[in-house]
Amino acid sequence: MSKIIYYMGAGASYGSKEAREVLDKGTEAERLIVHEGLPVVNEITKCLLAFKDVVINAPIDTDGIYEFMNTYRTDGYSVNRARDELTKDIDELYVASKEHATIDTYAKKLYLTRRQNEFERLKNVLSAFFVWIQMESKVDQRYDTFLANVLGMNLYFPKELSVISWNYDSQFEIAYKYYSQNSTLPIYEKNANGEFPPLKDYGRIFKVNGSANFGDFNLVNSIIKDGSVLPIIQLIEYYGLLKTDTSSMGFNFRSHLSFAWEHSARQNQLMEYIKKTTIDTESVIVIGYSFPFFNREIDRSIFSNMPNLKTIYIQDPFPEAVEPALKAVLTVQIDIEYQRDCTQFYLPREL
């Protein structure tokens, strides 16, 4: 259906180098603040310390009445205890991230050694981290420009264009709220609780690693919209509810973030929908994605279902570094073109 596919990784949400601020540089307490976009893999460790600072200093009023909290609170629940748990879990992930090449490496080790509780804590903390940093940082401005360029008057993508994203973030969703408060983009997410949107005659977004969310709604937008309680306190509340059975209230709070090697109940359906979308694909624009070995099996499956693929554009400051890993997932020879200018998401001549 879609002749053009945007294939996106973490670099697509990088923002800019100028939007990064280092505090206490060269010390054990060195922290990174990102003012636009999101950190890439090798920056997350230093951002975790900044996240911990905000959690520790959250002004929780133990004598106050928080309407938001009372909506979901169960007997015996303590917001301060939830903060202590989150702080402890951030520390655990911070130490582990310093001891491993990437957080993905650590996650795979936990998964292989069946340390399920630690594995779930990692996903919970990582989800909370991405929610927090997207509340604090401006959305990567390239998303806004991209939406302005490609959205039709119906505020959807044209059917000729779809997105396959390996990112956990909500940059598309956050940018889109400035175009429509009453509708959402058709997003198909690996770990959705509810039913997928029906396949209609417009472009789609597929999130093959799920989302850094605790429900099927967009948590970042929901927290920001609720001005009655500080966002960080709401986030701490949600984090505490991950360990609470709220099913009787009609909610099932859990991390929707996952990794390529994890199987989900919706994964087969997701891959089938991707296949239906890419069967006519002729061009792929790879943005900020390095084709890591962890994801190779799924990458191969996706690209093998593009029988009409003619051209792949690599948009990256160093595209020649990406090309060997890209070729490892291809089964036939495809023309590859470099786009080193990353100022905006590349709009190919085929559009």
- Per-residue confidence (pLDDT) for residue 95, from 0 to 100: 95
**What is the CATH classification number for the domain harbouring 293?**
3.40.50
222 found inside a domain: no
Shared domain check, 173 and 150 = yes
9 found inside a domain: yes
Shared domain check, 114 and 26 = yes
Express the helix, strand and coil content of the chain in percent, nearest 5 each. 45, 10, 45
221 found inside a domain: no
Shared domain check, 294 and 264 = yes
Shared domain check, 264 and 240 = no
Strand partners, 16: none
Shared domain check, 156 and 82 = no
- Per-residue confidence (pLDDT) for residue 248, from 0 to 100: 65
Tokens of 151: 């959205």
Shared domain check, 59 and 169 = no
348 found inside a domain: no
In three-state secondary structure terms, 187 is strand
- Per-residue confidence (pLDDT) for residue 76, from 0 to 100: 47
124 found inside a domain: yes
Domain that holds residue 43: 17-138+228-249
Shared domain check, 193 and 124 = no
- Per-residue confidence (pLDDT) for residue 63, from 0 to 100: 56
Shared domain check, 143 and 49 = no
346 found inside a domain: no
Residuewise pLDDT in 10s, the chain (351 residues): 789 999 999 999 999 999 999 998 888 888 999 999 999 988 999 999 999 999 999 988 765 555 555 555 554 457 888 899 999 999 999 999 999 998 999 999 999 999 999 999 999 999 999 999 999 999 999 999 999 999 999 999 999 999 999 999 999 999 999 998 777 889 999 988 778 888 889 999 999 999 988 876 778 888 877 777 888 988 998 888 887 766 666 666 788 898 888 888 889 999 999 999 999 999 999 999 999 999 999 999 999 999 999 999 999 999 999 999 999 999 999 999 999 999 999 999 998
E strand residue ranges, 229-282:
none
Shared domain check, 176 and 153 = yes
- Whole-Å CA distances, 94 to 16, 117, 251: 24, 17, 30
Shared domain check, 147 and 132 = no
- Whole-Å CA distances, 162 to 90, 150, 169, 187, 308: 35, 11, 17, 10, 16
292 found inside a domain: yes
Shared domain check, 133 and 148 = no
Domain count, the chain: 2
E strand residue ranges, the chain:
4-8, 20-23, 31-34, 161-165, 187-189, 205-207, 283-287, 311-315, 335-339
Shared domain check, 166 and 50 = no
